[in-house]
Amino acid sequence: MEEVLHRTIKSFVLRSGRITKLQQHALDNYAQLYCIPYEAEKKLDFVQVFHNTKQTVVEIGFGDGEATHQMAERNPDINYLALEVYPPGVGALLDVVHTRQLPNVRIVQYDASEVVQNMLADSSVSGFHIFFPDPWQKKRHNKRRLINPAFTALLADKLKTGGYIYCATDWEDYALQMQDVLRGEARISSPFSGFAEKPNDIVPWRPQTKFERKGVSAGRRIFESYFVKTC
């Protein structure tokens, strides 16, 4: 995984977005309760992190955290490790997690590729959620897309056998790229011949995200990919 570890091309640009007083208050007061500091040399022990032996799902790029807290509330028997770089989104999720007292959510505010590479143990994760990642729609920027062969191989390393990768996007060319890349990883396979079909008992429930609503309003189709680690 040297390509991932030493990559210089980022799948995000850290912008200085406006942060509200509520979000800043949450960052100042609740981060110590629910955030895990990035430590490159320390693999996370989910039993110690969540104080239980439940399965852990990792959400990569949770945005404002709306979908994250809804999934956590609906699925109290699943732990959610949420990764995001943007302070306003982290603050928004922290506020809800603390207000609603959700014990099954923890946050790492850092580059997801480095967190997955350096802080997750192999064969430890039950699922990865990657909902509406930045599509980098200009052709010259396609190289920045998160779903690439090296990162997909890394996700497969971290998954337990039977664990899944669940991606969603409203950009068709990125969706097709996702399918090509995911189908190129020998250790995972999809129960679907193409994109995932919903409603379907195979695919885990997820709420509609803010980015999804924008895509639907703009008339774009939602494309979902679902793959399971088989070996």
CATH number of the domain within which 39 lies = 3.40.50.150
Does 153 map to a domain? no
Four-residue CA torsion sign, 90, 118, 127, 180: positive
Listed in sequence order, the residues at least 6 apart from 19 whose beta carbon sits closer than 8 Å to its beta carbon are: 27, 87, 88, 91
**Per-residue pLDDT at 6 exceeds 50:** no
Does 112 map to a domain? yes
pLDDT in tens, 42-84: 999 999 999 999 999 999 999 999 999 999 999 999 999 999 9
Same domain, 77 and 170: no
**Per-residue pLDDT at 11 exceeds 60:** no
The whole-model pTM stands at: 0.91
Pair 34, 96: CB distance under 8 Å: no
- Mean pLDDT of the region 126-132: 97
Under the banding of pLDDT at 50, 70 and 90, the label for residue 148 is very high
The answer to whether residue 134 is catalytic is yes
Backbone angles phi, psi at 21, to 5 degrees: -60, -40
Same domain, 176 and 96: no
- Backbone φ/ψ region at 95: left (φ over 0), alpha (ψ -120 to 50), beta: alpha
Same domain, 1 and 105: yes
Largest pairwise CA distance in the chain: 47
pLDDT in tens, 173-219: 999 999 999 999 999 999 999 999 988 889 999 998 888 888 888 88
Which residues span the domain enclosing 214?
124-136+161-231
**Active-site hit among 64, 134, 157, 170:** 134
Does 147 map to a domain? no
Domain total in the chain: 2
Same domain, 42 and 102: yes
For residue 55, give the DSSP letter: E
Under the banding of pLDDT at 50, 70 and 90, the label for residue 133 is very high
Same domain, 108 and 131: no
Same domain, 100 and 186: no
Same domain, 225 and 179: yes
Same domain, 89 and 167: no
Same domain, 128 and 107: no
Reduced to 3 states (helix: H, G, I; strand: E, B; else coil), residue 23 is helix
**Per-residue pLDDT at 130 exceeds 90:** yes
User: Which stretch of 131-140, 153-162, 189-198 has the lowest confidence by average pLDDT?
Assistant: 131-140
Same domain, 131 and 229: yes
Same domain, 94 and 106: yes
**Per-residue pLDDT at 85 exceeds 90:** yes
Helix 87-99 and helix 21-34, axial crossing angle in degrees, nearest 10: 70
